[in-house]
Every structure is written in C-alpha cells, then in structure tokens.
C-alpha cells in the first residue's frame, strides 16, 4: 500500500499506473481536495445533486469506484456517517468523465521528496 495525496483534482495517474503494475494498493490522503477547492466545483455539486448525496460523498465515491482507498478526516459526527456511506449510489460514465476535467496536473501535487506530512 502507498498513501499519496489524491483527489479528483489530483488523480495521480502516473503513480496509480505504477502501483497497478507492481501490485500496490493506492491510499488517498486529502481525498476531499480541500486546498484545491474540489467540493466547491460546480461539476461536483451538480453530480452530488443528481445523486442526492453531498459533494464530499462524490469525491470519496470517485476514489472508491476506482479501487482507491480514501482516508477522509472530520471532526463532525454527521460527516463521519456520510463519508462512510458510499455504497448506496454509483457514479456513471458521464460523471466520471466530467470529474476528469478537474485534474490540475501532477505539478500541483506536493512533492513527497521535499514535503513530508502525516
């Protein structure tokens, strides 16, 4: 398992391809993409409305649906429940395509060689 910064704004395709090739499970930190304002994006809000879930659930479901393990954190008990409730809806192909447009590019991710976080 390798834990990397990952959200719809930072899909980390290169790292994930390496993981897939070497049998490594991808775990996402900062999966809600706070600094990248993922949850405020109109695309995310529109998809959330369509499925009657929160924007946070859309971001987390996007990860789970691709075999990524997201680790969200929250100090709010109602969000703990919602953030774990990811299996009562499914993002369709169009949702996934729309979410692809949020990719800010690999250069936006923090460089783990120079920036350590836990």
Ligand X SMILES: NC(=O)c1ccc[n+]([C@@H]2O[C@H](COP(=O)([O-])OP(=O)(O)OC[C@H]3O[C@@H](n4cnc5c(N)ncnc54)[C@H](OP(=O)(O)O)[C@@H]3O)[C@@H](O)[C@H]2O)c1
12 lines the binding site for ligand X (CB under 6 A):
no
User: Residue 84: which residues within 8 A CB-CB, separation 6 or more?
Assistant: none
8 lines the binding site for ligand X (CB under 6 A):
no
Phi, psi of 74 (to 5 degrees): -155, 145
- Out of 6, 9, 10, 32, the only residue in the binding site for ligand X (CB under 6 A) is 32
The residue among 21 and 116 lying less far from ligand X, judged by its C-beta, is 116
Phi, psi of 20 (to 5 degrees): -60, -40
DSSP-derived secondary structure letter, 27: E
71 lines the binding site for ligand X (CB under 6 A):
yes
Query: Measured over all CA atoms, what is the biggest interatomic distance in the chain, rounded to whole angstroms?
Result: 40
Phi, psi of 4 (to 5 degrees): -130, 160
- Out of 12, 16, 31, 47, the only residue in the binding site for ligand X (CB under 6 A) is 31
The residue among 11 and 31 lying less far from ligand X, judged by its C-beta, is 31
18-26, 71-79, 84-92, 101-109 -> range binding ligand X (CB under 6 A): 71-79
**Is 10 in contact with 36 (CB distance < 8 Å)?**
yes
The residue among 75 and 101 lying less far from ligand X, judged by its C-beta, is 75
Contacts to ligand X by CB under 6 A: 3, 29-32, 34, 39, 54, 56, 71-76, 79, 82-83, 117-118
């Amino acid at each position: 398992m390798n834990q990397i910064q990952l959200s719809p704004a930072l899909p980390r395709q290169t790292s994930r391809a390496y993981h897939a090739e070497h049998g490594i499970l991808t775990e996402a930190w900062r999966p809600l993409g706070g600094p990248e304002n993922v949850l405020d994006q109109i695309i995310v809000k529109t998809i959330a409305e369509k499925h009657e879930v929160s924007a946070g659930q859309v971001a987390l479901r996007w990860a789970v649906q691709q075999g990524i393990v997201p680790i969200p954190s929250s100090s709010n008990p109602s969000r703990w429940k919602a953030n774990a409730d990811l299996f009562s809806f499914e993002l369709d192909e169009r949702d996934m395509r729309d979410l692809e447009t949020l990719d800010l590019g690999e250069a936006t991710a923090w460089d783990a060689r120079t920036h350590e976080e836990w």
